[in-house]
Chains A and B, each alone.
Chain A
Amino acid sequence: MAITQLSVYLENKPGTLSQVINTISDAGINIRALSLADTRDFGILRLIVSDVQATRAILDDQAFATETEVIAVKMSDKAGALGNILKILEDESINIEYTYAFTSPSREQACVVFRVGDTKAAEKVLNTYGEITLNDEDLKDLL
């Protein structure tokens, strides 16, 4: 299942980030979630967008973008929901490369995104424990 994240590799220079964001929004593409990891030299921008192919096409000459499979887990509104998910991954020795979260205002729904080594295996584990993971289609409904 999993969802498709767009990963944009950027030089850490003034203006590169805003330039990418502006290009995407100017094209009328929705950025549903955004997370930036940066070092002194480079930054990796991780995006969940409404149209992956269109975003790649408009970024073509401006930035280098690749598709990455990540897991999106629906968070229940119960207290400690995130803690539960993390506990499952820890118990099953699944190493998390990075994680971030986003919410859907229309559905009042929060999602947490995980990047792990073996997406399929991790997703199966989470499902076994009763957690609901999303695919690209679900995402369309959500936003």
Chain B
Amino acid sequence: MKNYYQKEIETAPYEEIVKIQNEKLKKQVRRVYDNVAYYRDLMDKKGVKPEDIQTIDDIKKLPFLTKDDLREAYPYGLLGTDLKNCVRIQSTSGTTGKRVVAFYTQHDIDLWEECCARAIVAAGGTNEDVVQVCYGYGLFTGGPGLNGGSHKVGCLTLPMSSGNTERQIQFMMDLNATILCCTPSYAAYIGESLAERGYKPEDNKLKAGIFGAEPWTEEMRRSIEKSLGIKAYDIYGLTETSGPGVAFECEEQNGMHINEDHFYAEIIDPNTGEVLPEGSRGELVFTSLDKEGFPLLRYRTKDICVLTRKKCSCGRTHIKMSKPMGRSDDMMIIRGVNVFPSQIETVLLKEGYSPNYQIVVDRARNNDTFDVYIELNPDQVSDVVSDIQARERSLEAAMRSMLGIGPKIHLVPPKSITRSEGKAVRVIDKRNLHD
């Protein structure tokens, strides 16, 4: 049985989608040019006028926006409408520099929540489901987005927010939660915690999980699915475009359908900015086609991925994006070699280790040091030193063959790496402290 939240648009023929995109883009560019001085300046500098944009293909003529632009325009510089029309802000977790603050009108909130509702229905959600949302609530978009989507579908919503695992488990078991929404690392942690308390995967009523907000691998998906006895679905989004639900997985579990009636996606060469043909790997760029409060045009996400418009067995016609293969931000250059944390995770899961690890990169005597701390699973702990050392050697060799360089492996006791209940801190790069 096929279920959609908004069947007509989710399964619309391609030509229909293009028609919608053409109309929406024309209107959106006009609105942005009239209301957003910051972007008007960028367009003027490039010599592009709103009337140059007639179809979705004309989008190539528009200038890009980057995170730097967002910082520079902070807080109101990219606001697309009067503040009196806005009803909400959300903000990214601050890393460096200024936070990004995104504004939403009620229309923006509705379309965002509808996108999340599509994701929940695609994961098998109906109004008979109990959705446990343990993404953070507040400025972070995870909690509010899935919460709103769950309401739209009519599910019983448990607005747990993040943390307090004891309470999460109590509500999950007592109230028969059927769909879990959180970060994949927290889902893995809940799985472990349930096992520790003697629960088997079949003891809970969960059937699906909607996990996002951080990178995760296929191996991690399988391990979460096994430990919780569920189907695990990926969801994608970022505060700059609205939040989770920009793209979501269907039952095929191989790529996320982009809600392209609201968000137009392009893949570009990150170095030249050139738009690449379908199927190429490159940087993902999003344009909000009908958001009012924070209408970003051609925003560079820094996520590296691939777009494909193949026929999907779920019946949805919207283009699919692959799981991001890394962020240009996350990519580390260690001793001249490109290293993505996701590669390390792949090795760990393949070799039977826990996905709880931390990478520490530093510099000593003008050379990069590269250390990976990995938690042993309880059954891997030994009282014999040589057993542990043998494990370290074999893991180092496996890493070397995957990455091209061998990190120093440190096997640490189970549960000794601090768990964050929001985003996992996987990489500590201390090299810039020396500059």
Residues on A close to B: CB < 8 A? 5, 7, 9-11, 37, 39, 41-42, 44, 46, 63-64, 66, 68, 97-98, 115
Residues on B close to A: CB < 8 A? 376, 378, 381-386, 388-389, 392, 410-416
Known contacts: A9-B376, A39-B389, A64-B378. The answer to whether A115 contacts B384 by CB under 8 A is yes
Nearest CB on A from B165, distance (A): 13
Partner of B381, one of A37, A39, A64: A64
Nearest CB on A from B327, distance (A): 30
* Contact, CB under 8 Å: A115 / B383: yes
Known contacts: A39-B389, A42-B388, A64-B378. The answer to whether A11 contacts B383 by CB under 8 A is no
Query: Once the chains are docked, how many angstroms separate the CA of A105 from the CA of B378?
Result: 36
Query: Once the chains are docked, how many angstroms separate the CA of A98 from the CA of B387?
Result: 12
A9 contacts across to B, CB distance below 8 A: 376, 381-382, 413
Partner of B383, one of A39, A44, A63: A44
Known contacts: A9-B376, A39-B389. The answer to whether A64 contacts B384 by CB under 8 A is no
The residue of chain B having its C-beta at the shortest distance from the C-beta of A43 within the complex is B385
* Contact, CB under 8 Å: B384 / A98: yes
Nearest CB on B from A60, distance (A): 11
Nearest CB on B from A43, distance (A): 9
Nearest CB on B from A10, distance (A): 7
Partner of B416, one of A11, A46, A97: A11
Nearest CB on B from A123, distance (A): 18
Query: Once the chains are docked, how many angstroms separate the CA of A115 from the CA of B383?
Result: 9
Query: Once the chains are docked, how many angstroms separate the CA of A64 from the CA of B412?
Result: 10
* Contact, CB under 8 Å: A63 / B413: yes
Query: Once the chains are docked, how many angstroms separate the CA of A66 from the CA of B382?
Result: 8
A41 contacts across to B, CB distance below 8 A: 392, 410-411
Known contacts: A9-B376, A115-B384. The answer to whether A64 contacts B410 by CB under 8 A is no
A68 contacts across to B, CB distance below 8 A: 383
* Contact, CB under 8 Å: B413 / A39: no
